[in-house]
Structure 1
Amino acid sequence: MQVSQGRSAGLGLALVSAFAFGGSGVAAKPLIEAGLDPLHVVWLRVAGAALVMLPVAWRHRNLVRERPVLLAGFGLFAVAGVQAFYFASISRIPVGVALLVEYLAPALVLGWVRFVQRRPVTRAAAVGVVLAAGGLACVVEVWAGLTFDAVGLLLALGAACCQVGYFVLSDQGAGHGGVSEVEPPHPVGVIAYGLLVGAAVLTVVARPWGMDWAVLGASATMVGREVPAWLLLGWIVLLATVLAYVTGVVSVRLLSPQVAGVVACLEAVIATVLAWFLLGEHLSAPQLVGGCVVLIGAFIAQSSAPKPPSGPVASGIGGPALEAAVYEPAGDGRAGRPTGQREAR
């Protein structure tokens, strides 16, 4: 019962994270159209969230001594890397193509579990990834403007790899399913320092001292109405960044990187639907069909995470990903059967 409640909570948090992340573009687009550079919007987003999370960072200051590599990696890959690579890629290839390539991350997570950690993966998780990727292709209408710019595609792939780092690093030290000798780092503390590191990196890249700060004191247009720019910025910082990262990382702890990764594909669906209602960007029939396929893929993938084994097991790198990869649920609802041997550290 406790495991089931944890999975339900993890799925709920993953959906909240997808909704929060999905709303970032809707709030950012009016600011960009008002005159802000896209990279400056990214810097405002990360730097603002880092300021909000400063009290949390101070409370968990012991992490700087205990987990410096994890904090640096989360800031570089999960925060700065994803944002910088994505915005660089859309300067060379269509946004839809870049988004599709970036959300190949769930498939890359499965590759990490299978070939780097050398763990088998469940068939349901693999099927869910395939369905989600195919549905996502319809949502972003990848056929509408595909251009084979090698550099742009590589940049988008870089964003996908950094997103893999987000899911894998979020899972480090979770210690689910076994006895862990090291206390796992507090997820919110990791996010706080990740945002601080990301803000520092993006400051060098975005060079905000050249930004048109006057835009933030004016208004932006959304659905034909004037909206204060500071209100949109607050949306991006508090909801699309702080809330999104906190719920996302905690959901990875409760689920697994590959399951949470596929559920995160809903971000593209949510972003498209919000753009329909708030920006007047209407959905086509293929986009509606693709959104349904993404939902089906996410459901199949999240249902693939099995019950943990009844006996004690040794802890290892990967946390819940290890459990989801090694144990496949039995079809009759009983305890899962092992599909491979666990490798102890």
Structure 2
Amino acid sequence: MPVRTSQSSQGSRGRGIGLGLALASAVAFGGSGVAAKPLIEAGLDPLHVVWLRVAGAALVMLPLAVRHRALPRRRPGLLAGFGLLAVAGVQACYFAALSRIPVGVALLVEYLAPALLLGWVRFVQRRPVTRAAAVGVVLAVGGLACVVEVWSGLGFDALGLLLALGAACCQVGYFVLADQGAEAGDEAPDPLGVIAHGLLVGAAALTVVARPWTLDWSVLAGTSDLNGTPVAAGVLLAWIVLVATVLAYVTGVLSVRRLSPQVAGVVACLEAVIAAVLAWVLLGEHLSAPQITGGVVVLLGAFVAQSSAPAKDSARPVARGGPDDPERELSAPGATA
């Protein structure tokens, strides 16, 4: 049947584009830590770096927020949740953890999020979970035990680990909220509008917490040390704002809309690998063999836990919107038979 073949082809292309966007987002997010840590070591408070990152990105996206100015009236809860969890919560917890533990370790803990997302699907959305998914969670937790070297009496800063875990919880909110509203089809909120307003909400919340009026602006006029190489602080900040925030959020949210929170979460795990490699090469942060092994097991566990979750398939001929259908289509406008 030609119509079915055409829909299948479009669905395959859509998934391919979604995977490409998810990979681009992982690379962009993965470069944030290595650019932020030199600024923190140069004298900036971690919360000040987060505020600069989010406020700068909010300014870049401000024209889109103006264009979608009706969105706060239509979806105030979505924008508030996205701004407080997916923007302010993730960034504040991650950067605070970054000041206490290595970049690679902070991200590996943060990327327990796919396993936590599985718990959300099972216990909050009350959807079935496969045995493979449960095995993946066990692998992820076991790998984390190797990363933090529990046999040595928790060698890493306990508060740093808790902050990284907080970032993981907030990242679950990022994947869930990025997909919210997509079931509305053509009436779904524009993802760029959600990101723009979410950044504004996040910047406002961080302004209260970070108190940027106490920021040492002179640090941004100087240079920061990148493993022995002086780099202009302004260049590092521009990378954090334009690439590691604006580009990362745009490609990330678009990938969730084309795939699903679970599948996008699997690809996002690559961020931990990318960040760990960059930290090793650019910052000289070396991990021990057990920690590297544990990190691989964490990523393997996250992948196994989520690999059974199907991507959104616009060619699947099922009725959409059923609350009891665990594989129901969430965002395929115009995909009716």
Give the TM bin, normalised by the shorter chain: 0.7 to 0.9
Relative to structure 1, is the Cα distance of residues 181 and 280 closer, same or farther in structure 2, using a 3 angstrom cutoff? closer
Deviation at 1:142, TM superposition (A): 6.5
Q: 2: distance between equivalents of 1:275 and 1:286?
A: 17
Question: Paired residue for 2:321?
Answer: 315
Aligned to 1:34: 42
Q: 2:10 & 2:131 partners in 1: Cα distance?
A: 25
Q: Pick the aligned partner of 2:221 from 204, 217, 224.
A: 217
Q: State the Cα deviation string for residues 168-209 of structure 1 (Å, max 9, x = none).
A: 00011222xxxx466111111101111000000001100011
- The residue type paired with residue 315 of structure 1 is G
Closer, same or farther in 2 for the Cα pair 1:182/1:65, shift >3 Å?
farther
Residue 29 of structure 2 corresponds to which residue in structure 1?
21
Deviation for aligned residue 1:163? 1.4
Distance 2:222 2:88 in 1: 27
CA shift at 1:308, angstroms? 5.9
Secondary structure at 2:171's aligned position in 1? helix
**173, 189, 196: which is aligned to 1:192?**
196
- Could you tell me which residue of structure 2 aligns to residue 108 of structure 1? 116
Change (3 A) 1:196 1:319: farther
Q: CA RMSD in A?
A: 3.3
Question: Alpha carbons of 1:270 and 1:97: their partners in 2 closer, same or farther (altered >3 Å)?
Answer: closer
Q: Who is 1:60 aligned against?
A: 68
Structure 1 residues 85 and 310 mapped into 2: Cα distance closer, same or farther (>3 Å)? Answer: closer
CA distance in 2, matches of 1:124, 1:323: 23
Partner of 1:338: none
Aligned to 1:342: none
For residues 31-72 of structure 1, what are the alpha-carbon distances to aligned partners after superposition, in whole Å with 9 as ceiling and x for unaligned?
111111111111100000000000111111121121111111
Give % identity. Answer: 77
Deviation per residue, 1:6-30 (Å, 9 max, x gap): 2222222112111111111100111
Q: In 2 relative to 1, CA 35–51 (structure 1 residues): closer, same or farther, beyond 3 Å?
A: same
In 2, Cα distance between the equivalents of 1:70 and 1:209? 29
Structure with greater helix share of residues: 2
Q: Which residue of 2 aligns with 1:334?
A: none
- What residue is the counterpart of 2:281 in the other structure? 277
Residues 91 and 25 (structure 1), Cα distance of their counterparts in 2 relative to 1, 3 Å cut: closer
Query: For residue 234 of structure 2, what is the aligned residue in structure 1?
Result: 230
- Asked if 1:49 corresponds to 2:39, the answer is no
C-alpha deviation, 1:5, in angstroms: 2.0
CA–CA separation in structure 2 for the residues paired with 1:243 and 1:95: 20
1:290-312, Cα deviation, whole Å (9 max, x unpaired): 45545655665675343567434
**Is residue 2:246 matched to residue 1:242?**
yes
Question: Which of 79, 83, 96 in structure 1 is aligned with 2:91?
Answer: 83
1:84 positional shift: 2.6
Residue number in structure 2 paired with 1:206: 210
Q: CA deviation at 1:110?
A: 1.3
| Aligned residue type for 2:254 | V
Distance 1:151 1:322 in 2: 40
| Mapped partners of 2:152, 2:190: distance in 1 | 43
Q: How many residues of Structure 1 are paired with residues of Structure 2 in the alignment?
A: 320
The equivalent of 1:259 in structure 2 is: 263
User: Alignment partner of 1:53: what SS?
Assistant: helix
| 2:169 is aligned with 1:161 | yes
Three-state SS of the structure 2 residue aligned to 1:61 is coil
For structure 2, the 5+ residue unaligned runs are 1-8, 331-337
Residue 238 of structure 1 aligns to which amino acid in structure 2?
A: L
> Matches of 1:246 and 1:118 in 2, distance apart?
29
Distance 1:265 1:83 in 2: 16
The 3 A distance-change label for structure 1 pair 151 and 281 is closer
In 2 relative to 1, CA 127–252 (structure 1 residues): closer, same or farther, beyond 3 Å? Answer: farther
Structure 2 contact 114–306 (Cα < 8 Å) conserved: no
Change (3 A) 1:45 1:65: same
- 1:4 shift after superposition: 2.1
- The corresponding residue for 2:333 is none
TM-score (norm 1): 0.80
Contact persistence 2:38–2:224 (CA under 8 A) = yes
Aligned counterpart, 2:4 = none
> Helix, strand or coil: the match of 1:212?
coil
For the 8 Å contact 1:81–1:159, the answer to whether it is kept is yes
Report whether the alignment pairs 1:7 with 2:2: no
Query: How far is 1:104 from its partner?
Result: 2.3
